[in-house]
Amino acid sequence: MVCFGFAVGEHMAEKIVLLGGNGYIGAAFQKFFKKQDIVFSSLSRKDVEYTHGDVLRDFLKTHKPSFLVNCAGYSGKPNVDACELHKAECLAANAVLPGVIRRVCEGLGLPWAHISSGCIYTGDHGCGMGFAENDAPNFSFRHNNCSFYSGTKALGEEVLDGASGCFVWRLRIPFNHEENPRNYLMKVMGYDCLLDARNSLSHLDEFVSACWQCWEKRVPFGVYNMTNPESITTREVVALVEKSAIGVSLKARGKTFRFFESEEDFMKKAAKTPRSNCVLDTRKLQSVGICMTPVRDAIERSLSQWGKCKI
Amino acid sequence: MVCFGFAVGEHMAEKIVLLGGNGYIGAAFQKFFKKQDIVFSSLSRKDVEYTHGDVLRDFLKTHKPSFLVNCAGYSGKPNVDACELHKAECLAANAVLPGVIRRVCEGLGLPWAHISSGCIYTGDHGCGMGFAENDAPNFSFRHNNCSFYSGTKALGEEVLDGASGCFVWRLRIPFNHEENPRNYLMKVMGYDCLLDARNSLSHLDEFVSACWQCWEKRVPFGVYNMTNPESITTREVVALVEKSAIGVSLKARGKTFRFFESEEDFMKKAAKTPRSNCVLDTRKLQSVGICMTPVRDAIERSLSQWGKCKI
């Protein structure tokens, strides 16, 4: 149920509107806001059809929030392969909706943030440091090498190019210590066979906290790569899992980790559409004084906090 | 105003729903249906918000049409350059809406047609015959060489790939004998400077008639290039204009036709985004027994029928 009136809370100066609050990322924002006593209103499309500019504008004009966070998006279930079958929905959520919100927020002078994804890149940029925010996507429709999902996310960023008062926060392969089919560590522990690749990852709770800091510290608007510093390969992640308590427990139950021979082998046996594997440059976020834990430390901490795992 | 109940007419077996009936193409369909006494209902979004699948489904379930024609699209005013500024609207109308209609029509088993465009190609395919229906677009996001408009039209066709009970009718550079800023002959006569390029064109009224024949004759569903046979260069069009009565009248009033030196010169001086210039192969349409006039004859006829021209 939507809290239309914004409940009274500690930070009355802040009144946040959250779109897509019931998804994996949106739920993490809700949890964060509740924990921080930040007043927010999570809109469901059933109550407020925010994909229609007029409806969103009326709501925002009435409730006068100080900031809006758009976590709405279409990523496919159980994975991005599903986006190949639901192209219109995927385009509507990932490319059109950001433009609708932009027009409304620019019209009202309301600052806002869009959750984007690092999946618009492939590779490590050749230099090991990864892709910076101003590098053009290289895993996109325009490169004709991408999943439909990545194509729509890259279009979403194109639609936001030049937007004023707008953060574009790029998440990449979220994980934390909680059981959820979207949690990357759950996937690593649960999949029959893994693809070894080097990636940047985002600790979900650190991601949300870092996003909030961008707004709270009033750092300059624009695009930010919101991943934990340093990159990691799947085999390294598995090594960290294996030496953790949950890994030892899995091994005792007979779990072994197997890998596809190659990306070709993976594409042949397990995937319908190419996956992005990429490294993002995190220096811009650090340059504004916002820190996330190096990725290995964040994974070890998540594993050490791991609850009762029902894989 | 929408005729919700479908007025009684000559062809009671046919009840057509028309989307985008107020645009340049949609208006030509309306004119054709009226002339042919075909029962149709032109929906305006104000009355029936057909971009929402549920609303469209409810309308179609209630009114049980025999066929639907989607002429809705976003092409930018005064030209495609405007699409670079309205990306979300352009994506929504040209790529998302076809997918929404597809889902609804497939669910109801309702045959329908989408007006697409030949602007997803560039060149003549190297062979002079032009691009056939099954050639992959080469002026698209996936080729990273296109206007945003063409990119969205190509995505629209991708969204319709494999659709059942669906015609994709590709129009290209419409013209006829009537004054309208969208009429290519008006543009040729009105622009200060022209780009010489070879193109396929569609005589608007012949296009509509040929589309209707596809449905009436129950030719196989699928993609059809709906352009007049043979291609023509801008200089050839100008030569036809110059020798027509309207051309002679224009010359008497001091009109001269000037050309850009090259496509680079055109891009530098007059355009913000690249234009498609292309030749389409029209043999598929001919193979199902539907004929359009060779393009030179169609242009000459339009010019000879030209009304009072207020250029």
Could you read off the pLDDT of A204-231 as tens digits, one per residue?
999 999 999 999 999 999 999 999 999 9
**Residue B10 pLDDT > 50, yes or no?**
no
Residue B308: per-residue pLDDT: 52
Quick: pLDDT tens for B236-294: 999 999 999 999 999 999 999 999 998 888 888 888 888 899 999 999 999 999 999 99
More confident of the two residues A93 and B308: A93
Residues in B touching A143 (Cβ below 8 Å):
144
What would the DSSP string read from start to end of B255-294? Answer: ----B-SSHHHHHHHT-SSPPP-B-B--HHHHHTT-----
Averaged pLDDT score across all residues of chain A:
92
Nearest CA in chain A to B91: A96
Residue A128: per-residue pLDDT: 78
3-state secondary structure of A198: strand
More confident of the two residues B78 and A281: A281
**Distance (Å) from the C-alpha of residue B102 to the closest C-alpha of chain A?**
10
The verdict on residue A249 lying in a domain is: yes
**Residue B6 pLDDT > 80, yes or no?**
no
CB of B243 within 8 A of CB of B257? Answer: no
For residues A278 and B183, give the distance between their C-alpha atoms in angstroms, rounded to a whole number: 48
Q: Do A98 and B87 touch (CB under 8 A)?
A: no
What's the whole-number mean pLDDT along residues B31-45?
Answer: 96
The verdict on residue A68 lying in a domain is: yes
The verdict on residue B138 lying in a domain is: yes
Angle between helix axes B148-159 and B97-108 (nearest 10 degrees) is 20
The verdict on residue B311 lying in a domain is: no
| Residue whose pair of structure tokens reads 């699948």 in the numeric block | B53
Quick: pLDDT tens for A245-261: 999 999 999 999 999 99
Residues in A touching B102 (Cβ below 8 Å):
88
Residue A79: per-residue pLDDT: 85
The verdict on residue B202 lying in a domain is: yes
Quick: pLDDT tens for A39-84: 999 999 999 999 999 999 999 999 999 999 999 999 988 888 889 9
The verdict on residue B10 lying in a domain is: no
Domain that holds residue B51: 15-304
pTM (two decimals): 0.85
**Residue B9 pLDDT > 60, yes or no?**
no
**Distance (Å) from the C-alpha of residue B304 to the closest C-alpha of chain A?**
44
The CATH number linked to A115 is 3.40.50.720
The verdict on residue B76 lying in a domain is: yes
- Of the candidates A103, A10, A110, A118, the one whose C-alpha atom is nearest the C-alpha of residue A52 is A103
If DSSP states are collapsed to H, E and C, what string results for B101-157? HHHHHHHHCCCEEEEEEHHHCCECCCCCCCECCCCCCCCCHHHCCCCHHHHHHHHHH
**Distance (Å) from the C-alpha of residue B40 to the closest C-alpha of chain A?**
27
Question: What's the distance, CA B202 to chain centroid?
Answer: 8
**Residue A272 pLDDT > 90, yes or no?**
no
Residues in A touching B159 (Cβ below 8 Å):
87-88, 91
Quote ipTM for the complex.
Answer: 0.78
Say how many CA atoms lie within 13 Å of B94 toward its Cβ: 24
- Of the candidates B286, B275, B73, the one whose C-alpha atom is nearest the C-alpha of residue B184 is B275
Residues in A touching B95 (Cβ below 8 Å):
88, 91
Instruction: Count up the domains in chain A and report the number.
Output: 1
Quick: pLDDT tens for A102-150: 999 999 999 999 999 999 999 999 877 899 999 999 999 999 899 999 9
More confident of the two residues B3 and B67: B67
The beta strands (E) that lie in B10-135 are given as: 15-19, 39-43, 67-70, 112-117
Quick: pLDDT tens for B57-74: 999 999 999 999 999 999
Mutate to test the interface with A, among B70, B97, B138, B141 (most CBs of A within 10 A): B141
| Residue whose pair of structure tokens reads 């305006």 in the numeric block | B44
CB of A76 within 8 A of CB of A94? Answer: no
**Residue A159 pLDDT > 80, yes or no?**
yes
Say how many CA atoms lie within 13 Å of A173 toward its Cβ: 26
**Residue B8 pLDDT > 50, yes or no?**
no
The verdict on residue A32 lying in a domain is: yes
